[in-house]
Amino acid sequence: MFIVTAKEMYDIDHYTMHEAGLDGKILMENAGRAISGRMEKFMDKSNKITVFAGAGNNGGDGFVIARTLYNRSYDVQVFQVVPDQKITGDAHYHKLLYLNYGGRVFSSDDHGHLVSRLDETDVIVDAMVGIGISGKLRAPISDIAERINQSDATVIAVDVPSGLPADEGISNFQSVQADYTYMVGAAKMTAFLESTSPYYGGWEKVDIGFPASSFPMCSSRELWGEEQYRETMPEREKYAHKGKHGKGLIIGGSSKMPGSIAMAAKASLKAGTGLLTVASSETVIRMIASHCVEAMYQPVPESDGYLTDDPDLSVSDYDAVAIGVGMGRSNRSAAAFRHAVQDTNGPLIVDADGFYHVKPLLDQLAQREHPTVLTPHPGEMAELMDVSIPEVLKNPFRLSAEFAEKYNVYVILKGRHTLITAPDGRQAVNDTGNPGLAKGGSGDVLTGIVHAMVMQEQGIFQALCNACFVHGAAADWMVENSRACHDLMATDVIEGISMVYRAIS
Ligand SMILES: NC(=O)C1=CN([C@@H]2O[C@H](COP(=O)(O)OP(=O)(O)OC[C@H]3O[C@@H](n4cnc5c(N)ncnc54)[C@H](O)[C@@H]3O)[C@@H](O)[C@H]2O)[C@@H](O)CC1
Ligand SMILES: [K+]
């Protein structure tokens, strides 16, 4: 499923109508019919349905929904939230059809009727404003939005809850709070932002007949879920040997945080790494070796509990190197970091305290011939980019793309909707995971899975998307079957990896 901005959606519309030749009225018919069909799961024939229709094509969708439901014997009334003369074009065509079928349209200026109808309404259809919104919701629609939000009815939004644009970048907005949103043709960016996604309620995409080829032409952003995982995750060959699945190195750990690297190592092995070496201080190795017996260990010198550089550590001998987990922010470790950036001869994954060390080396990352992967959460991303955390949360798509392009890195911006970005601008939002992952250790496990995935036979971008998918799906499986979000531990997520591999292939 593609994720679009308003401009991209209008480009898809334009292509469909003017290049492929499908009439806009038919698209609107398809949208309204698809939504009314799916809405029926929320209703029965005794329900009263009130449709709020605006002036644009979003309102047009509303008139099709009203006609379809009216024609199926539902008790439907439409409240038009703009004067008659504002309803033009395809929306006007569908308004007339609705009237010709016998439907009734009222003005939202008739407050008495509006209030009494809302009192008895079971289902509200919000078709006031869609992705054509500009700025904050204006009166009278802003007042009606407030009334809708106070009502006890089930609120179904058409395309987007009225008040939200498709694009990221907003902070001052007022929106209808939907229980469920049917997004038309493609998912909209605001469905994945921390501040706006809750207004969508549950959601799904409805297909209205846009040519499949128009989406990749207009957008390079998609939602990564089970379908994409199944399509891209490589199968293990029958005669594969351990060397085929990657010879990996993880560098990190400090005496204060020995667990991090242990979890990353376990996750890496569990996710499929063929041969794993853990490079850490002797103190850390003593603490963790019995917890991860499958790994090999390479002691490196330490100072005051922190790793220092070991010039003899041959980072170039490994297929992929992960560095940073549990490493701490001591400047004693800076040289070890530079060593990994300069000599790693394959994908380099940087996480956690690694960001502190990598920041002065960003220009060097840009020169690396092999992929570099950074896995920050919004706070770490803000520090890397010298912007505020609210700024990152407001513009995650744009900031990740700018950063990835500038420094030639892959970025995994972690969060409720983890966003994966490639240096060439491709982006994916991961579809799995739950609040149980908001806990110390989750990031270490993700690093381990990413480390394993980049060594399997798949494109690097797909590898990162699949790593995020497996991480979230493992957490989901555990929460569905044996844990709750409260008690889910990072080590449980490692256990869940097996279930994902067994269940989805
Ligand atoms: N072919 C198409 O163009 C299709 C469009 N579709 C629907 O059309 C929508 C986009 O249609 P439009 O481009 O006509 O735009 P919208 O219908 O989303 O919005 C435009 C209307 O909203 C009003 N408006 C804008 N900002 C406002 C604000 N801040 N406060 C109050 N009112 C405001 C404008 O005055 C205008 O009347 C999509 O969201 C989708 O629902 C679907 O029917 C599929 C096909
Ligand atoms: K809407």
Rounded Cα–Cα distance for residues 397 and 421 (Å): 8
pLDDT tens digits for range 37-81: 999 988 999 999 999 999 999 999 999 999 999 999 999 999 999
Ligand 1 test: best mutation among 133, 173, 183, 208, most atoms within 8 Å of CB? 133
Q: Is the CB of 209 within 6 Å of ligand 1?
A: no
| Per-residue confidence band for 239, with pLDDT thresholds at 50, 70 and 90 | low
pLDDT tens digits for range 409-453: 999 999 999 999 999 999 999 999 999 998 889 999 999 999 999
Domains of the chain: 3-219 (3.40.50.10260), 228-366+379-386+446-503 (3.40.1190.20)
Q: What does the pLDDT read at residue 67? A: 98
Q: What does the pLDDT read at residue 56? A: 96
Is 418 marked as binding a ligand?
Answer: yes
| Average pLDDT rounded to a whole number, residues 359-367 | 94
Is residue 406 scored above 90 in pLDDT? Answer: yes
Cβ-based neighbours of 236, under 8 Å, separated by 6 or more: 245
> Residue 16 — φ and ψ, nearest 5°?
-60, -45
Q: Whose CA is nearest to atom 19 of ligand 1?
A: 132
Q: Of 91-105, 306-320, 429-443, where does the model show the most confidence?
A: 91-105
- Of 1, 78, 68, which is closest to residue 32 (Cα–Cα)? 68
Q: Pairing relation of β-strands 202-206 and 247-251?
A: unpaired
Rounded Cα–Cα distance for residues 359 and 474 (Å): 31
Closest atom, ligand 1, to C-alpha of 136:
29
Q: Is the CB of 167 within 6 Å of ligand 1?
A: no
| Per-residue confidence band for 242, with pLDDT thresholds at 50, 70 and 90 | low
Ligand 1 test: best mutation among 129, 148, 156, 218, most atoms within 8 Å of CB? 129
| Average pLDDT rounded to a whole number, residues 296-306 | 91
Q: Pairing relation of β-strands 3-4 and 275-280?
A: unpaired
Is residue 237 scored above 70 in pLDDT? Answer: no
- State the pTM of this model: 0.95
Rounded Cα–Cα distance for residues 452 and 110 (Å): 63
Is residue 244 scored above 80 in pLDDT? Answer: no
Is 61 marked as binding a ligand?
Answer: yes
Is residue 254 scored above 90 in pLDDT? Answer: no
Mean pLDDT (the chain) is 95
CA of 413 to the centre of ligand 2 (A): 29
Q: What whole-number percentage of the chain has pLDDT above 90?
A: 89
Q: What whole-number percentage of the chain has pLDDT above 70?
A: 99
Burial class for 503, CB neighbours closer than 10 Å (0-12, 13-18, 19+): exposed
Rounded (5°) CA angle 405-323-325: 110
For the beta sheet containing 275-280, the strands, ordered from the edge strand earlier in sequence to the opposite edge, are 221-224, 427-430, 419-421, 410-413, 372-374, 348-350, 320-323, 247-251, 275-280, 296-299
Is residue 21 scored above 80 in pLDDT? Answer: yes
DSSP 186: S
CA of 4 to the centre of ligand 2 (A): 16
Can you tell me whether residue 339 is helix, strand or coil?
Answer: helix
Closest atom, ligand 1, to C-alpha of 61:
43
Least confident piece of the model among 69-73, 254-258, 273-277: 254-258
Is residue 211 within 8 A of residue 187, CB to CB? The reply is no
Closest ligand to 181 CA?
2
CA of 54 to the centre of ligand 2 (A): 9
Is 415 marked as binding a ligand?
Answer: yes
Q: What does the pLDDT read at residue 234? A: 85
Ligand 1 test: best mutation among 22, 92, 131, 136, most atoms within 8 Å of CB? 131
Can you tell me whether residue 24 is helix, strand or coil?
Answer: helix
Instruction: Assess: ipTM above 0.95.
Output: yes
Closest atom, ligand 1, to C-alpha of 127:
41
Is residue 236 scored above 80 in pLDDT? Answer: no
CA of 120 to the centre of ligand 1 (A): 28
Is 326 marked as binding a ligand?
Answer: yes
Q: Whose CA is nearest to atom 41 of ligand 1?
A: 58
- Of 355, 448, 365, which is closest to residue 405 (Cα–Cα)? 365
pLDDT tens digits for range 133-180: 999 999 999 999 999 999 999 999 999 999 999 999 999 999 999 999
Least confident piece of the model among 65-74, 308-317, 414-423, 458-467: 308-317
Is 58 marked as binding a ligand?
Answer: yes
Is 59 marked as binding a ligand?
Answer: yes
Q: What does the pLDDT read at residue 351? A: 93
Q: Is the CB of 133 within 6 Å of ligand 1?
A: yes
Is 162 marked as binding a ligand?
Answer: yes
Least confident piece of the model among 80-84, 231-235, 358-362, 421-425: 231-235
Task: State the DSSP string of 298-322.
Answer: EE--EETTEE---TT--GGGSSEEE
| Average pLDDT rounded to a whole number, residues 299-306 | 89
| Average pLDDT rounded to a whole number, residues 344-350 | 96
Ligand 1 test: best mutation among 13, 16, 57, 61, most atoms within 8 Å of CB? 57
Is residue 280 scored above 70 in pLDDT? Answer: yes
DSSP 128: S
